[in-house]
Amino acid sequence: MPGARSPLARRRFNRQHPCLNRIAASLDFSIFLKSSRMLLKGESEMRQAMLYGAGDLRFEERPLESQSLAPDEVYVETEVSAMSTGTDLANYLGDSTFVPGAPTYPRTVGHSNAGSIRRAGASVRKLKVGQRVFSLKPHQSAYIAREDELVVPIPDGVSSEVASLAYLTHLGLASLRQARYEAGEHVVVIGIGVIGLCTVWLARAMGAKVAAIAKAPPQVKAALRLGAHAAFLAGELGLKEKLGQLFGDAGADIVVLTANSWDAYRTALEVARRGGRVSILGFPGRGQQQPDFSPLDPRWIYDKQLTLLGAGHAPRTDCPPEDLRFNMRRNLNTILGLMASQRPGLDSAITHRFPASRMQEAYELAKNHDKSLAAAVFDWRLTR
């Protein structure tokens, strides 16, 4: 039988490693032997979510050499990771390569990770053991990173659940920066999933007058809880007039489009003021046929003089502020700082909480377009 050991082998192992005897007594010997070999090699074991195709989500166990770190490395145990109902869901549905350059299957999933540093190499100075950090690591229980990677400290007072939304909020911040947002401008957010909700909260925190356009009543209520001055259902009668009453003659300066439908795209161009900017975070027409209108109709591009922006990017280059004031690291620092100080916080954006082992349930909810779902987070501490 694989993993079986004779009584003599067990006694020999116990004599060589007496400190492990009590652990061995409570475990199947084959499992214990595997764990002890990893321990003696300075290894830990981490669990990672992998997608092998549409709906084929699996957890895999892999070793990490957590006790033999390079001088500039830290070992981080994940506390919470967050799901994106955009990119992550598309990958789960089998649409992994829609975004140019995206990997095929099998592939990791997730990119929003909040964890705690458990060990640090001898030369690490900017990070410390016990500190919580945010990173773009995928859904996995632990990882090793260099100090100079994108590992950003989480302030005290910000829960790991809320911190796990930092990158999804960053997409909204990058969209506003790319549209050259100025404090006091009027912002419309179309598409009130998790990214849309985070953008509503952020725009309000940055001094904007904010309106949200959503597909379902629960999303309208969620946008209002997070600070929207007004929220409407997509397609409701008199939408443009209601936005006019909210914004006055100035109109909507910036529209952030997180939804994918052609109807949402057309709404974005219709509600933006003349000379306004439309930051496109979604993928217009994804999963749909070609529209029955021209996406670059002259009434929007020529007559209204709109600026359309592919949005959401920030450079990852680390350099002095005088060379580049806001890169991704500084954007994330800004967001985490706002999370620590701004009220209301982003807590109410989180509608579903799961142990990491039940991750697939959240993806199935998103697949079935459950309108009660906004942000879903996965707690890895419950799997240890």
Could you write out the DSSP letters of every residue in 215-276? SSHHHHHHHHHTT-SEEEETT-TTHHHHHHHHHGGG-EEEEEE---SHHHHHHHHHHEEEEE
Asked whether residue 32 carries a pLDDT value surpassing 70, the answer given is no
- Tens digit of pLDDT for each residue in 199-239? 999 999 999 999 999 999 999 999 999 999 999 999 899 99
Model confidence band, residue 8 (pLDDT cutoffs 50, 70, 90): low
Percent of the chain with pLDDT over 70: 87
Residue whose tokens read 């749909």: 288
Q: Which amino acid is at 378?
A: F
Q: What is the pLDDT of residues 71-119, one digit of tens each?
A: 999 999 999 999 987 778 888 888 766 666 677 889 999 999 999 999 9
Is 249 a domain residue? yes
Least confident segment among 41-45, 88-92, 178-182: 41-45
Residue 346 has pLDDT above 70, yes or no: yes
- Does a structural domain hold residue 67? yes
Tell me, what's the pLDDT at 11?
56
Is the pLDDT at 156 greater than 90, yes or no? yes
Do 149 and 183 share a domain, yes or no? no
- Position 21 scores a pLDDT of 52
Question: Is 9 in the same domain as 49?
Answer: no
Whether 327 maps to a domain, the answer reads: no
187 part of a folded domain: yes
**Residue 132: strand, helix, or coil:** strand
Question: Which of 288, 310, 332 is where one domain is finished?
Answer: 310
Residue 163 has pLDDT above 70, yes or no: yes
Which pLDDT score is estimated for 67? 86
Shared domain for 103 and 236, answered yes or no, is no
In terms of domains, do 157 and 173 share one?
no
Answer yes or no: are the C-beta atoms of 111 and 170 closer than 8 Å: no
Residue 49 maps to a domain: yes
Sheet holding 44-51, edge to edge: 57-64, 44-51, 107-108
For residues 15 and 31, membership in a common domain is answered with: yes
Four-residue CA torsion sign, 22, 27, 29, 33: negative
Tell me: do 187 and 288 sit in the same domain: yes
Mean pLDDT of 292-301: 94
Percent of the chain with pLDDT over 90: 74
Cross-strand pairs, 264: none
With respect to residue 334, please indicate whether it lies within any of the assigned structural domains: no
pLDDT computed for residue 168 by the predictor: 96
Question: Residue 116's domain is classified under what CATH number?
Answer: 3.90.180.10
Looking up tokens 């990770």, which residue turns up? 113
Closest to 51 in 3D by CA, of 87, 7, 1: 87
Strands 57-64 and 151-153: unpaired
Asked if residue 158 and residue 224 are part of one domain, the reply reads no
Give yes or no for residue 46 having a pLDDT over 50.
yes
Same domain membership, residue 356 and residue 243 = no
CATH code of 209's domain: 3.40.50.720
pLDDT at 211: 98
Residue 271: per-residue pLDDT: 96
Number of domains in the chain: 3
Q: Are residues 12 and 113 in the same domain?
A: no
- The whole-number average pLDDT for the span 328-347 is 94
Q: Do 171 and 293 share a domain, yes or no?
A: yes
Whole-number mean pLDDT of the chain? 89
**Statement: residue 7 has pLDDT above 70:** no
**Euclidean distance between CA atoms 91 and 271, whole angstroms:** 31
Please tell me whether residues 136 and 254 are part of one structural domain.
no
Backbone phi, then psi, for 283, in 5-degree steps?
-120, 85
pLDDT for 384 beyond 50: yes
Mean pLDDT to the nearest integer, 314-320: 90
> Does pLDDT of 24 surpass 60?
no
* 121 in Cβ contact with 65 (< 8 Å): no
What mean pLDDT comes out for the span 137-161? 96
Domain that holds residue 250: 167-310
For residue 34, is pLDDT > 70?
Answer: no
Residue 370 counted as domain residue:
yes
Q: Tell whether 315 is covered by a domain.
A: no
Q: Alpha-carbon distance 267 to 239, whole Å?
A: 10
Return the bridge partners of 188, or none: 211, 255
373 has pLDDT over 80: yes
Q: Does the structure show a pLDDT above 60 at 36?
A: no
Same-domain status, 272 and 207? yes
Entry pTM = 0.86
d(CA 86, CA 108): 15
